[in-house]
Chain A
């Protein structure tokens, strides 16, 4: 599903990722771990096309993502669900609007959108909160809205950047259980996290980064 060949990313003189080689098969669940500044978020950004690699090759679903034009990029992103560290919820749109955004860009019918929004909110435990604004929700609920938006279109790949970083223990477990359930349906999941407790509780393959290098995979 995802293959990296000698992938590198630099910001000026600073190397964020150095010579990363990696293969993540379809349906895998992978933790990306390492200290702050190790390159976890940079790797995720490269995968969903927010950044372009400085060197190497990046294949996502057989497509060379490093060579995608601005016109092609949206099509890649429609197959990748992303849970952002800061949620990236639109504050003045309801929960349903936020979640439905990922379906609207696909040109889906309004009734289908409503049906899928109801289903996914049920999955993440937010049934009945369709018309709430993100500002009316707790941090955990906002995180679950972000997860709902990322999985509502059944993406082939789900990327989550510190999805439990702002949550207490019980909430974090709930979110992890949702991500595992998504993975069970066949979605390849990559979770960037520091939370060793969660990684021990839900053991899966770990990719450890240090100073931009993949030191353990």
Chain B
């Protein structure tokens, strides 16, 4: 390490200790911004996870017409079972469907007995392979089997698609909100760093007058900003863990993910690392902005 680099690092680290109260404020601002962003990311991550689990469990019910003969139904079943997208096909006869319904809704048993099992259509219960669970592939598969003249094909994906659209909208909204949070953080960090720069104005003015370059002056501040951003990132990670343990996990228990058996999870390590990196960049950007403003104004 050459002497200039060593000097700049030493100055940057020393400055972290010399302005403890202002630097604590910077760390708080960065930490708060990252907690907001991280909470949003955690919500998105869990919703996405639920979506994926729903996608994994795609079942398609294809109902036959009442007068469709049994042999024809089994022939269609064999044809569908041979399709590459299909994991499993189960044939439910009218009697199986009646038993299934009575098992789940015992109150309907008298109605079934009175009208006979024929009121319920026979069906094929199709499970798709995991690679074929994307909405467009499901739709393609469904379009493919309509040639068999089913009375109705129900694959319950319409609302999943709507939920997915909602999720996409949420992600887009999050991008806008996230950008605003980042900009507001840079502004707040820069304003706080202005106070630090202001407090050290005589030193910086003198440095400029004895021939310091902008790089020489700004580098210790960038190091300081990176350290503060790192600390902000660590604070945010601790905060997010606390929120996860105290709030998310409990909400998860109540919901028990009514729609899924998945439990709510914390952010993946790569996302946490990304948040900390964003914190470091926020700190550096704020410091750069503050020093740059001073540099342009100083003689």
Contact A105/B3 with A51-B299, A91-B202 known, Cβ cut-off 8 Å: no
Total count of chain B residues near the partner, CB < 8 A:
19
Whether B7 and A88, one on each chain, are in contact in the complex, defined by CB atoms closer than 8 angstroms, is no
Chain A residue with the shortest CB-CB distance to B202: A90
Footprint of B on A, CB under 8 Å? 45, 48, 50-51, 70-71, 74-78, 82, 84, 88-91, 93, 101-102, 104-110, 149
Mostly, the A contact residues are loop
Q: List 19 A-B contacts (CB under 8 A).
A: A48-B209, A50-B209, A74-B212, A76-B211, A77-B209, A77-B211, A82-B209, A88-B202, A88-B206, A89-B206, A90-B206, A101-B206, A104-B4, A105-B211, A105-B213, A107-B2, A107-B4, A108-B3, A110-B7
Give B203-219 as 1s and 0s: 1 = Cβ < 8 Å from A's Cβ atoms.
10111111111101000
Residues of chain B contacted by A75 (CB below 8 angstroms): 211
Q: Which of B2, B205, B212 contacts A88 (CB 8 A)?
A: B205
6 more A-B residue pairs beyond the given contacts A77-B211, A93-B203, with a C-beta to C-beta distance below 8 A: A45-B299, A51-B299, A74-B213, A88-B205, A91-B202, A149-B210
Q: How far is the CA of A75 from the CA of B212 in the complex (A)?
A: 8
Q: How far is the CA of A102 from the CA of B208 in the complex (A)?
A: 10
Give B182-216 as 1s and 0s: 1 = Cβ < 8 Å from A's Cβ atoms.
00000000000000000000110111111111101
Chain A residue with the shortest CB-CB distance to B199: A92
- The smallest C-beta distance from A140 to any residue of chain B, in angstroms, reads 20
Q: How far is the CA of A106 from the CA of B7 in the complex (A)?
A: 11
Residues of chain A contacted by B214 (CB below 8 angstroms): 70-71
Residues of chain B contacted by A45 (CB below 8 angstroms): 299
Residues of chain B contacted by A48 (CB below 8 angstroms): 209
Residues of chain A contacted by B208 (CB below 8 angstroms): 74
Q: Which of B4, B206, B213, B299 has the most CB of A within 10 A?
A: B206
Whether B2 and A74, one on each chain, are in contact in the complex, defined by CB atoms closer than 8 angstroms, is no
Residues of chain A contacted by B207 (CB below 8 angstroms): 101, 105
Residues of chain B contacted by A104 (CB below 8 angstroms): 4, 7
Chain A residue with the shortest CB-CB distance to B7: A104
Residues of chain B contacted by A110 (CB below 8 angstroms): 3, 6-7
Residues of chain B contacted by A76 (CB below 8 angstroms): 211
Residues of chain A contacted by B4 (CB below 8 angstroms): 104, 107
Residues of chain A contacted by B299 (CB below 8 angstroms): 45, 50-51
Chain A residue with the shortest CB-CB distance to B296: A70
Q: How far is the CA of A184 from the CA of B282 in the complex (A)?
A: 52
Residues of chain A contacted by B211 (CB below 8 angstroms): 74-78, 102, 105-106
- The smallest C-beta distance from A44 to any residue of chain B, in angstroms, reads 11
Q: How far is the CA of A105 from the CA of B6 in the complex (A)?
A: 12
Give B1-32 as 1s and 0s: 1 = Cβ < 8 Å from A's Cβ atoms.
01110110000000000000000000000000
Q: How far is the CA of A109 from the CA of B7 in the complex (A)?
A: 9
Chain B residue with the shortest CB-CB distance to A97: B203
Whether A109 and B206, one on each chain, are in contact in the complex, defined by CB atoms closer than 8 angstroms, is no
Residues of chain B contacted by A89 (CB below 8 angstroms): 206
Chain A residue with the shortest CB-CB distance to B6: A110
Residues of chain B contacted by A74 (CB below 8 angstroms): 208, 211-213
- The smallest C-beta distance from A146 to any residue of chain B, in angstroms, reads 10
Contact A77/B2 with A88-B202, A104-B7 known, Cβ cut-off 8 Å: no
Chain B residue with the shortest CB-CB distance to A81: B210
Q: Which of B7, B205, B210 contacts A77 (CB 8 A)?
A: B210
Q: Which of A91, A105, A108 contacts B210 (CB 8 A)?
A: A105
Q: How far is the CA of A77 from the CA of B205 in the complex (A)?
A: 13
Residues of chain B contacted by A93 (CB below 8 angstroms): 203
Q: Which of B203, B205, B210 has the most CB of A within 10 A?
A: B210
Q: How far is the CA of A75 from the CA of B208 in the complex (A)?
A: 11
Q: Which of B209, B212, B213 has the most CB of A within 10 A?
A: B209
Residues of chain A contacted by B212 (CB below 8 angstroms): 74, 105
Nearest 3 pairs between A and B by C-beta?
A78-B211, A77-B211, A107-B4
Q: Which of A88, A106, A108, A109 contacts B209 (CB 8 A)?
A: A88
Chain B residue with the shortest CB-CB distance to A87: B206
- The smallest C-beta distance from A103 to any residue of chain B, in angstroms, reads 9
